[in-house]
Structure 1
Amino acid sequence: MMKDEAPFLLEWYAHHLAVGFTKILVYTNDCSDGTDDMLIRLEELGLGYHRRNDIPEGVKPQPSAMKYAQAEPKVAEADWILMFDADEFLCINYGDGTLDPMLDAAGDANGIVITWRIFGSGNVVDWSRDPVTEQYLYAAPPTWNKGWGVKTLFKFDPDKWKIGIHRPSIKNKHLETGFPDTVKWLNGSGLPMEDYFKFRGWRSIRRTVGYQWAQMNHYAVKSIDSYAIRKFRGNVNNKKDKYNADYWSLQDRNEVYDDKILRYTERRKQIMDELLTDPVLSRLHFAAIEKVEARLADYRKTDAYEELKQSLLAASDVPITQIVAKPPKARDPAEIAKLMSQVEKNSADRPIEERRKEPEAEFADVSEGGDGFVPGNIDISAQTAVEWVLNHDIALPADVRIFAQNTLEFVMRGKYQRKLARMTGRMVEDGQKV
């Protein structure tokens, strides 16, 4: 789903062709910068499909587009589908970075739940024509649970599934049949998802988050200039005043360096160069860039732009430990019970030996003779958001500065090896690591 994304469209399109998508379908609404014309041309070239999102009165753009997609023959024909936006770039960490090897490794699974990595501005202020995936290489820590929204790659059957923004939902008529038992979803590390996620939830939790196979890079803010353009333009879901300083401080996370997506640079450039050999696409692409740069030049002359810039610079200084995504809601056990479907209750009532157990995952770092720590001495003097997790009755910090990425996922699930968990405190006390 897109609205006025023309300056970024060809990079996004070329990137996902490099990832291995064979067909891309995009819904657009209310475009004024040529986004829809570019997508029409891409369809004429046989590289995907464009559909207009004609929005009924009183309906938001995203639900409208999903309703159309639910009935779209091209969607039903696809082997796998993934719903995502123009500021989201899929990054596959498995194998050579393309879809087919990861899907082969998934075996008989019919879904992969991919968690966001929130990428910030990297302190970039000014507009640039450089690729998004090369400009912004700083992100929130992978352990930051406020950034654990998901997108789901899955096998779609329109009779059984209802498409959703983050994940599909099983249609009511199939909830109390044997269909839920056939759903086998994996997390972003290729491990089985918990059964509850078949029925509810749009975020990973400590026990299910994983990035070893894939991550969804989410570039919600980009530079201050790019943010200003989006604020003055509006957004795909028509949320009032979405692009304010609070949203910026939530999304402008730059605590860790992550350049995994650069593995696609050469192939993406090659594809984009090929696309730009088409005179129609080339004309539309550069016209869109020139138009947005002219608009930005006008914005910069206004008091509103300067006020926005200063508010965003101040918001960038908000520590990650002080970020609040939404006001916390009290956990009422009775209300939680109401949310559980009858199917979940039936599953929970089965004898424990009949329930699917999570297989023991291979602890790669240790099996290769390592201890799972980041190599060398580390500096943990800087304040950052760290969750302490019980591992065999020992509280360990889920800190990206201490544990290697593969190891972090075991620490967050409370599955770090007992012997090594007990060793951690002694190593810290002796100054061997810190």
Structure 2
Amino acid sequence: MIKEVYDDIINLTLSIKSSIKKERNLLINNNLSINIAVDNIQKIITKFKQYLEEYSCLKNNPIIDILNKYNDDLLHIINEDNKDNVLIVLDNITGSLLDKVQENIIVNNDILSLTLIVKNEAFYIKEWIEFHRMIGVTHFYIYDNESSDDLYKKLSSYISQGIVTYTYWPTKGVYSTRLEAQLAAYNDSLYKYKYDTKYMGFIDVDEFIVPVNRKNIIEVIDDIFYRYENCGGIGINWRVYGSSYNEKKIDGLVVENYKYRAYDNYDLNKHIKTICNPRVTIAFNIEPHSAIYREPFYCVSENGKRIESCFFKNSTCNKIRINHYYIKSREDCIEKCRRKNGKQINEEYIQEFFTRIDKDCNKVYDPIMEKYIDELKKRCDLI
């Protein structure tokens, strides 16, 4: 849980303690009967529990069991009709409540986390994680869509270190389409972890968020959210990369092997992906590029222009962009198409698709990722 949300809960806990003490004092002064005082306190505790469950996503936290026990203790003691015993229980509650909340709700320092749904991308996942760690991402919510390439094994060290939260997320027998599964995964992450990170991004494994003029992406995101009062999310435009004339799948870094991209005005570059404040974001509803926000919040470009859909045509990408390594080599592209569509797609279509995209996406040599390569190789054990 991020500190600002934790602080709100601590302040609410102190308020709950104060309310219980007021009921206790009324009981001591005979201004309330035991039954009424206990009933009032149980309602206070129940309301606090519901807040933690529904609005702070702490349904499975031990603090919920502790609050239930407080109410059970009150229920048992009320039958004794003994004011002194009731006061002992109340003193135990007010004396331990704050400590129990502090013991069971963990504060973390996650500023930016990324949510990813992925299938059979173990070959590329380490580079994707390590690059984003280099620019300031601290946590990853990874949903495994029925991978068969030892993805979990590849992620195991990140999982044990608390860097990755892993969820197995099948399509078969649960969702009718891969898109439906993707949207459900995004919304699951949004709901479960919205209090655990200040910002949450939703991208694919072939997409790399790039701070154009800074080393740390957090500085860019903080600045945009600070400048534009009703910013609920940032729409980040693609810069789509081609094959860089690679026919075969090659070892090494994606960001080193693929340096040619499309012109800025290329049609696919108008697509955005989203980094949002998850606490003001309602859901991803129709497509995975843009979200729905609660009023008065909305999505903005890097320059504060309101974005109403999954497209934004006029981005300069002077501050932030997404390098989208859409097809990579011809061999990669064929594998990707087969993985997504199985037997429903023919070889002729795959070749036509690759050629059509690639002819427009090798136009500009772009060395923007050069500054990351040496460090990224070390992190990926390629040196």
Q: TM-score, structure 2 length as denominator?
A: 0.61
Q: How does 1:161-240 map to 2 (within 5 A)?
A: 161-162=283-284, 164-170=287-293, 174=294, 179-180=295-296, 182-183=297-298, 185-187=299-301, 190-194=302-306, 197-198=307-308, 201-205=309-313, 208-232=314-338, 234-235=339-340, 240=344
The amino acid of 1:186's aligned partner reads V
1:317-344 Cα deviation digits (max 9, x unpaired): xxxxxxxxxxxxxxxxxxxxxxxxxxxx
When residues 211 and 240 of structure 1 are mapped into structure 2, their CA distance, relative to the original with a 3 A threshold, is: farther
Q: Distance between the aligned counterparts of 1:63 and 1:138, measured in 2?
A: 32
Instruction: For residue 52 of structure 1, report the CA deviation from its aligned partner.
Output: 0.8
Structure 1 or 2: more strand by fraction: 2
Q: How does 1:64-143 map to 2 (within 5 A)?
A: 64-72=181-189, 73-96=192-215, 98-106=216-224, 107=226, 108=229, 109-143=231-265
When residues 44 and 238 of structure 1 are mapped into structure 2, their CA distance, relative to the original with a 3 A threshold, is: farther
Instruction: For residue 155 of structure 1, report the CA deviation from its aligned partner.
Output: 0.6
1:36 aligns with 152
3-state SS of the aligned residue for 2:380? helix
Q: Distance between the aligned counterparts of 1:267 and 1:110, measured in 2?
A: 33
The amino acid of 2:300's aligned partner reads L
Instruction: For residue 150 of structure 1, report the CA deviation from its aligned partner.
Output: 0.8
Instruction: For residue 191 of structure 1, report the CA deviation from its aligned partner.
Output: 1.0
3-state SS of the aligned residue for 1:43? helix
Are 2:146 and 1:19 equivalent residues in the alignment?
no
The amino acid of 1:254's aligned partner reads N
Q: TM-score, structure 1 length as denominator?
A: 0.54
When residues 158 and 77 of structure 1 are mapped into structure 2, their CA distance, relative to the original with a 3 A threshold, is: farther
3-state SS of the aligned residue for 1:16? helix
When residues 239 and 92 of structure 1 are mapped into structure 2, their CA distance, relative to the original with a 3 A threshold, is: farther
3-state SS of the aligned residue for 2:274? strand
Q: Distance between the aligned counterparts of 2:164 and 2:142, measured in 1?
A: 8
3-state SS of the aligned residue for 1:160? strand
The amino acid of 1:52's aligned partner reads Y
Q: Distance between the aligned counterparts of 2:204 and 2:144, measured in 1?
A: 11
The amino acid of 2:178's aligned partner reads P
3-state SS of the aligned residue for 1:110? strand
Q: Gaps spanning 5+ residues in structure 1: where?
A: 278-434
Instruction: For residue 100 of structure 1, report the CA deviation from its aligned partner.
Output: 1.9
Q: Is the 8 A contact 1:39 1:49 kept in 2?
A: no
Q: CA RMSD in A?
A: 2.6
Q: Distance between the aligned counterparts of 2:365 and 2:257, measured in 1?
A: 12
Instruction: For residue 254 of structure 1, report the CA deviation from its aligned partner.
Output: 0.3
3-state SS of the aligned residue for 2:132? helix
1:385 aligns with none
When residues 159 and 169 of structure 1 are mapped into structure 2, their CA distance, relative to the original with a 3 A threshold, is: closer
When residues 240 and 167 of structure 1 are mapped into structure 2, their CA distance, relative to the original with a 3 A threshold, is: farther
Q: Greater CA radius of gyration, 1 or 2? A: 2
When residues 239 and 87 of structure 1 are mapped into structure 2, their CA distance, relative to the original with a 3 A threshold, is: farther
Instruction: For residue 160 of structure 1, report the CA deviation from its aligned partner.
Output: 3.3
More displaced 10-residue stretch of structure 1: 101-110 or 122-131: 101-110
Q: Gaps spanning 5+ residues in structure 2: where?
A: 1-116
Instruction: For residue 136 of structure 1, report the CA deviation from its aligned partner.
Output: 0.6
3-state SS of the aligned residue for 1:210? coil
Instruction: For residue 153 of structure 1, report the CA deviation from its aligned partner.
Output: 1.0
Instruction: Find the partner of 1:8 among 103, 124, 133.
Output: 124
When residues 249 and 267 of structure 1 are mapped into structure 2, their CA distance, relative to the original with a 3 A threshold, is: same
The amino acid of 2:279's aligned partner reads D
Q: Distance between the aligned counterparts of 2:195 and 2:186, measured in 1?
A: 9
- Where do 4+ consecutive residues of structure 1 move more than 6 Å? none
The amino acid of 1:157's aligned partner reads R
Q: Is the 8 A contact 2:232 2:276 kept in 1?
A: yes
Q: Distance between the aligned counterparts of 1:238 and 1:26, measured in 2?
A: 23
Are 2:360 and 1:266 equivalent residues in the alignment?
no
Instruction: For residue 216 of structure 1, report the CA deviation from its aligned partner.
Output: 0.8
Q: Distance between the aligned counterparts of 2:342 and 2:203, measured in 1?
A: 17
Instruction: For residue 239 of structure 1, report the CA deviation from its aligned partner.
Output: 9.5
1:245 aligns with 351
Q: Distance between the aligned counterparts of 1:101 and 1:153, measured in 2?
A: 13
Larger relative contact order (CA 8 Å, sep ≥ 6): 1
Q: How does 1:308-323 map to 2 (within 5 A)?
A: none
2:88 aligns with none
When residues 224 and 53 of structure 1 are mapped into structure 2, their CA distance, relative to the original with a 3 A threshold, is: same
1:144-183 Cα deviation digits (max 9, x unpaired): 123321101111127734465101123xxx5xxxx13x43
Instruction: For residue 137 of structure 1, report the CA deviation from its aligned partner.
Output: 0.4
When residues 32 and 43 of structure 1 are mapped into structure 2, their CA distance, relative to the original with a 3 A threshold, is: same
Report sequence identity in percent: 20
3-state SS of the aligned residue for 1:8? helix
Q: Is the 8 A contact 2:272 2:290 kept in 1?
A: yes
Instruction: Find the partner of 1:256 among 351, 364, 368.
Output: 364
Q: Distance between the aligned counterparts of 1:94 and 1:214, measured in 2?
A: 8
> How many corresponding residue pairs?
255
Instruction: For residue 255 of structure 1, report the CA deviation from its aligned partner.
Output: 0.6
Q: Distance between the aligned counterparts of 2:151 and 2:367, measured in 1?
A: 28
